[in-house]
Amino acid sequence: MLLIYSPLLRYNSISDQLFYLSHRFKSQNGNMAYPGKLMMNSVTGHQYKFIQTSRDTAGELLEMEVTYKAHLKEPPPHYHPYQSEEFTILSGELTVNKNGKTEVYKSGDQFRIPANEIHSMWNDSHQPAIVNWKITPALNSEYLFETTVGLANEGKTNTEGLPSLLQLAVMLPYFESVFRTVKPPYAWQKIIFNLLAPIARMKGYEPFYKKYIN
């Protein structure tokens, strides 16, 4: 008996399958990240190295090696509605809060974050942590990482690496398929951003910027 695997099998509804296909098509066209690309967020201290990109894997996977500097604070909790994540601690340790339960993972440990699980992670130790990070499927996650790093490096975020409210008003709705914050509730976010987005666009804010994407 011949079994054929398709990534569409992970989605139960036709709408979710169409959503995946549309983002897979987008991920294979236009400018995208490339293996070996290094990015340093000058505000948070995170360093990203792309290992496998959306284009390399036909949209199936984004794989990175990420370095977390020491003595970080817990970031706001968030979740990914259509993606799962797998982490392997290469060195150091990472503190992870999953659905309100906090665990510390050390070198050699692995853990998984399924879609829609609320989580946050940070390095609370005295030394840097290096983590292998796989995101499945990739969707447009690369754009999100490149955009947030670019904004931070140009001084367009606060001291925690968070963009302005007007920037978020156009950015978060665009990336809502790959990243959603827990607070305020998603329904409230939709209302607030729908009100602010026209003002943001008038002032020149974009969901992402081509100069950061390559």
- What CA–CA distance (Å, rounded) separates 44 from 46? 6
Q: Are residues 165 and 90 in the same domain?
A: no
pLDDT tier, 21 (very low <50, low <70, confident <90, very high otherwise): very low
Considering the domain boundaries, does residue 112 fall inside one? yes
Sequence-distant (≥ 6) Cβ neighbours of residue 145 within 8 angstroms: 33, 39, 48, 64
Dihedral of CA atoms 5, 8, 11, 13 in degrees, nearest 10, equals: -130
Q: Are residues 100 and 159 in the same domain?
A: no
Considering the domain boundaries, does residue 47 fall inside one? yes
111-163 pLDDT, tens digit each: 999 999 999 999 999 999 999 999 999 999 999 999 999 999 999 999 999 99
Q: Which of 102, 120, 140 is the last residue of a domain?
A: 140
The parent domain of residue 183 ranges over: 142-212
Considering the domain boundaries, does residue 157 fall inside one? yes
Sequence-distant (≥ 6) Cβ neighbours of residue 203 within 8 angstroms: 166
Considering the domain boundaries, does residue 98 fall inside one? yes
Considering the domain boundaries, does residue 193 fall inside one? yes
**Which of residues 23 and 48 earns the better pLDDT score?**
48
Considering the domain boundaries, does residue 53 fall inside one? yes
State the residue for tokens 């754009």.
143
Considering the domain boundaries, does residue 122 fall inside one? yes
Considering the domain boundaries, does residue 4 fall inside one? no
What is the number of helices (H) and of strands (E) in the chain? Answer: 4, 11
21-34 mean pLDDT? 53
In the predicted structure, residue 15 carries a pLDDT above the cut 50 = no
Q: Are residues 67 and 102 in the same domain?
A: yes
Helix H or strand E segment including 194: helix 186-202
Which residues face 105 on adjacent strands? Answer: 94
Contact indicator for 171, 147 with CB cutoff of 8 Å: yes
Q: Are residues 155 and 194 in the same domain?
A: yes
Map residue 156 onto helix, strand or coil: coil
Q: Are residues 180 and 77 in the same domain?
A: no
Q: Are residues 189 and 126 in the same domain?
A: no
Q: Which of 140, 173, 204 is the last residue of a domain?
A: 140
Q: Are residues 135 and 84 in the same domain?
A: yes
Q: Are residues 159 and 122 in the same domain?
A: no
What is the chain's length?
Answer: 214
- What CA–CA distance (Å, rounded) separates 209 from 110? 34
Map residue 36 onto helix, strand or coil: coil
Closest CA to 49 of 131, 113, 144: 131
77-101 pLDDT, tens digit each: 999 999 999 999 999 999 999 999 9
Q: Are residues 46 and 123 in the same domain?
A: yes
- pTM: predicted TM-score of the whole model, two decimal places: 0.84
| Number of domains within the chain | 2
Closest CA to 145 of 35, 25, 39: 39
Which CATH number fits the domain that encloses residue 116?
Answer: 2.60.120.10
30-81 pLDDT, tens digit each: 456 899 999 999 999 999 999 999 999 999 999 999 999 999 999 999 999 9
Q: Which of 140, 157, 180 is the last residue of a domain?
A: 140
